[in-house]
Chain A
Amino acid sequence: MRAQADRLRALALLALVAALGTSAFAQTDFFGRVVSGADGAPVAAVKVAAELRGVNRDAGATDAEGRFRIDPSSLFGVQRRIGEPFMLFFSKSGFLTVSRQLQIGATPTEIRATLTPESEAVLEPAERERLDRLVRGGARGPLFLVPYDLPAEAANLSAAASTERLRANLERAIVTHVQSNSLISTGGAVGLSLLPLDAVKDVARLKSYGAHLKALAVITGFGALEDSGGRKQIVMSSTYVVVPTVASIDSFVIYVDDTLPADQLASPRLQERLSKLWGRTTVLALGMNEFRDARAAGDQARLRRVREYLRAERAGAGPGNDQFVTQLNRLIALLDREIRP
Chain B
Amino acid sequence: MRVLVALFATLALATPTMAGEIVGFQPGKPAAPVLQQTKLRAVIADFLDPGGSGMGNAISLIIWREVLTAIADQAGAGVILAKAPGNRPLVDLLQERYHEAALDAARSQAARMAVWGSVEEHDGRLFVSTYLSIIPDARSAELMLRLEGQPPLGADVAAEIPHSRLNLPLVETKRQSLLQRSVVMRNGAVIRKRPDSRAAEVTRPAVGSALEVSDLVDGWFKVDVPNLGPGYVHHSVVDVPPQLVDVRGATTRLSSAPGGRAGSPVPPGSYRVVNMRYAGGSGLSYEIAVSGARGWVLATAVRPRFSLPVVHLVAGLYRYQLGRYAEARGEFEQYLASPGVDTDNASLAMVYQLLGASQVVGKDALSLRSASAPPIEAFTRAIELTPYDPAAYNLRAVAVLALRGRLGEMLPDLAKATDLDPDNPRARSLITLLNRVTTTGEPSGLRRLVADANDRQVRDEVARLARRADGPSQ
Contact = CB atoms under 8 A, between A and B. Distances in A.
Contacts of A183: 388-389
Contacts of A74: none
Interface stretch (B159-167, B202-210, B256-264, B311-319): B159-167
B345 interface: yes
Interface stretch (B265-273, B399-407, B419-427): B419-427
B118 A172 contact: yes
14 contacts: A169-B118, A172-B98, A175-B98, A176-B98, A179-B98, A181-B346, A183-B388, A183-B389, A266-B51, A267-B122, A268-B127, A272-B170, A301-B474, A312-B384
Contact of B387 (A189, A266, A308): A308
Interface in A174-228: 175-177, 179-183, 189, 191
Interface string B411-423: 0000000011110
A268 B120 contact: yes
B386 interface: yes
B343 interface: yes
Given A168-B50, A312-B385, A180 B167 contact: yes
Contacts of B95: 168, 172
A191 B96 CA distance: 8
A180 B387 contact: no
B343 A276 contact: yes
B419 A304 contact: yes
B98 to A, nearest CB: 5
CB-CB nearest 8 A-B residue pairs: A268-B127, A308-B388, A309-B388, A180-B165, A179-B99, A308-B387, A305-B388, A268-B120
A276 B169 CA distance: 11
Contacts of B390: 305
B97 interface: yes
A312 B347 CA distance: 14
B100 interface: yes
Contacts of B338: none
B429 interface: no
Interface string A245-280: 000000000000000000110111100100010000
Contact of B421 (A181, A301, A306, A307): A301
A288 B468 CA distance: 29
A316 B50 contact: no
B156 interface: no
Interface in A126-182: 165, 168-169, 172, 175-177, 179-182
Contacts of A63: none
B420 A268 contact: no
A308 B420 contact: yes
A312 B386 contact: yes
Given A172-B129, A179-B100, A308-B420, A268 B387 contact: no
B455 interface: no
B131 interface: yes
Nearest to B385: A312
Interface of A: 165, 168-169, 172, 175-177, 179-183, 189, 191, 263-264, 266-269, 272, 276, 299, 301, 304-309, 311-312, 316
B170 A268 contact: yes
B377 interface: no
A305 B420 contact: yes
B388 A189 contact: no
Given A172-B98, A276-B343, A312-B388, A180 B419 contact: no
A215 B123 CA distance: 36
A243 to B, nearest CB: 23
Contact of B420 (A165, A172, A304): A304
Contacts of A191: 96
B344 interface: yes
A269 B172 contact: yes
Contact of A311 (B48, B385, B387): B387
Nearest to A165: B50
B120 A177 contact: no
Contacts of A269: 127, 170, 172
A169 B48 CA distance: 11
A267 B96 CA distance: 22
A180 B162 CA distance: 11
Contacts of A308: 387-388, 420
Contacts of B385: 312
Contact of A176 (B127, B165, B384, B387): B165
Contact of A182 (B99, B389, B419): B389
Contacts of B387: 308-309, 311-312
Nearest to B344: A180
B90 to A, nearest CB: 15
A176 B172 contact: no
Nearest to B97: A189
Nearest to A297: B474
B122 A299 contact: no
A34 to B, nearest CB: 41
A185 to B, nearest CB: 13
Given A168-B95, A266-B122, A180 B166 contact: yes
Contact of A177 (B50, B122, B167, B474): B167
A301 B420 contact: yes
Q: Which of A175, A180, A183, A272 has the most CB of B within 10 A?
A: A180
Contacts of B99: 176, 179-180
Interface string B103-136: 0000000000000001010110001010100000
Given A168-B50, A177-B167, A301-B420, A312 B345 contact: yes
Contacts of B389: 182-183
A176 B167 contact: yes
Nearest to B99: A179
Contact of A301 (B162, B165, B422): B422
Contacts of B131: 176
Contacts of B172: 269
Nearest to B169: A272
A189 to B, nearest CB: 7
B420 A177 contact: no
B80 to A, nearest CB: 22
B421 A180 contact: no
A263 B123 CA distance: 9
A50 B182 CA distance: 57
Contacts of B347: 180
A306 B421 CA distance: 11
A180 B166 CA distance: 6
Contacts of A264: 122-123
Nearest to B342: A316
A239 B95 CA distance: 24
B51 A165 contact: yes
Contacts of B100: 179
B474 A268 contact: no
B167 A301 contact: no
Given A172-B98, A308-B387, A180 B163 contact: yes
Given A268-B127, A301-B419, A305-B421, 10 more contacts: A172-B118, A179-B98, A182-B162, A182-B163, A264-B123, A266-B51, A272-B129, A301-B420, A307-B388, A311-B387
A267 B170 CA distance: 12
B122 to A, nearest CB: 5
Contacts of B120: 169, 268
Contacts of B170: 268-269, 272
